[in-house]
Structure 1
């Protein structure tokens, strides 16, 4: 079958987007994995599909990792998804769109080249845990920002072997069976951090991760006193910003802001 698609990037986190609001397309995990393959497909960290939710009469964002498995949310993906919807829904800059995800309703605002989205309030933070790694005990911080993340503070993100340590943390028995994404965080200032992320489902480091940036910013505030809004430097060299409010020990009103850009559009033949 022939499929029209749009290739987009959110701070280096890249995606294949497809409009399936009419419900005529059905994708199997192996088809999605093939489309995301950088040698045999379009190439992407994941795939975003626009569908119509008949019960709530809203657009639903379905997010699939590069391995074809579905996940509840992708922060940078949601920002790209909003930009993808903008011309379809004829929204101007300064306008807003809303859509459903596996983690709840997302509202997006268009601000020039950037897109700002609401994020789920973080839940069930488990801070200052010690885990065993092949290099010895390591202090980690678990938090759920739509998907589970493990935050590790390091002296320099450039000195970390993200592929090796990230893969080990991702599969730790402590966090089975779902596993975690692993975020390595360097403090840059009172309201700035740098983050590198190993993403489950991609099973590699990505140039940016929206839920990871959010997790890192919130944990940096809770543990290190970093002040919101937090500016976050990601591996691509782009900056994202995470705003939120704190009431006692509760974090709420989380927003993720950053660029969302169309790279190209096209048509691809998908083997049925």
Structure 2
């Protein structure tokens, strides 16, 4: 199988051109092995770019454990991959598990339109919302030294969220226009260097409290930007912006993976 490896602010993915349906029957077990960092290619997730009617392509995303969800950084990397494959030029519409998205690409920077967020709920002093995937947002201090794995794992596996799972974001305010976000991701069951839907969730909670339409976000793997407009109790015209890079490509023997 021919594959490509992409990363978006350190969130990394195995990318497969599946427009001919050659890998439609790729098993969950194979996906898990391909994402394994010791016995496979190694990635936070695997993405198949499929043909789709009415849009330019479909993003078929799998977490490293084989579960499915929407992934913001994965979608941005998919746009970069589709551009590399000459499926698109500078603008696109594509389908994902949570519906149709728009995106733009310019000089390696991908601006992705996220789905509208109708409301932001609270859990004590913390926030819960869905930005294509469910997210828990908790504000903390000294995030550099915070135990993201331990605390994220505890919230994700608490009685409230254990069955469905939830991504857990820890947020530190750096300034009136910048946040620092670290995320424990369900499906990966570990901290990742970046989470696009998590960054978006964190930014929206900050915007709601500060009446802003833009916030920059520092993650372990780089910098992202989020733009949004308030819409009642929620937000619309939400855009996630940042880089996506092809790291390498290769062939892998699936019989040995």
Which category describes the TM-score, using the shorter chain as reference length?
A: over 0.9
1:142 aligned residue: 128
Corresponding residue of 1:262:
246
Pick from 85, 94, 108 the counterpart of residue 99 of structure 1.
94
Q: Greater CA deviation, 166-175 or 252-261?
A: 166-175
Distance 2:21 2:88 in 1: 23
Q: 1:221 is matched with which residue?
A: 207
Asked whether the equivalents of residues 119 and 234 of structure 2 are also in contact (C-alpha less than 8 Å), the reply is no
1:1-272 matched pairs, under 5 angstroms: 3-25=1-23, 26-54=25-53, 56=54, 58-71=56-69, 73-89=70-86, 91-92=88-89, 95-127=90-122, 129-130=123-124, 139-223=125-209, 225=210, 227-236=212-221, 238-271=222-255
Q: How far did residue 69 of structure 1 move?
A: 1.3
Q: TM-score, normalised by structure 1?
A: 0.90
- Please tell me whether the aligned partners of residues 86 and 97 of structure 1 are also in contact (alpha carbons under 8 angstroms): no
1:205-248: CA deviations, max 9, x gaps? 0000000000000011223x163311000012x11000001133
CA contact (8 A) 1:150 1:181 kept: yes
SS in 1 for 2:160: helix
CA offsets 1:140-186 (integer angstroms, 9 cap, x no match): 21000000000000012113100100001111211242110000000
Give the TM-score normalised by the residue count of structure 2. 0.95
Instruction: For 1:263 and 1:193, locate their aligned partners in 2 and report how far apart those are by CA, in whole Å.
Output: 27
Q: How many residues end up aligned between the 2 structures? A: 255
Contact 1:114 1:260 in 2 (8 A): yes
Checking the alignment, whether the CA contact within 8 Å between 1:191 and 1:228 is kept in structure 2 is no
CA distance in 2, matches of 1:64, 1:204: 15
Q: Give secondary structure in 2 for the equivalent of 1:70.
A: coil
SS of the residue corresponding to residue 50 of structure 2 reads strand
The equivalent residue for 1:135 is: none
CA 1:23/1:126 → structure 2, altered by over 3 Å: closer, same or farther?
Answer: same
Bigger strand share? 1
Change (3 A) 1:120 1:148: same
Give me the CA root mean square deviation: 1.5
Query: Where in structure 1 are there 5+ consecutive unaligned residues?
Result: 131-138
User: C-alpha distance in 1, partners of 2:226/2:106?
Assistant: 15
CA shift, 1:112, in A, is 1.0
**Partner SS state of residue 22, structure 2:** coil
Verify the 8 A CA contact 1:242 1:254 in the aligned structure 2: yes
Tell me the distance in 2 between the aligned counterparts of 1:233 and 1:214: 12
Q: Secondary structure of 2:13's partner?
A: strand
1:32–1:66 CA contact under 8 A, matched in 2: yes
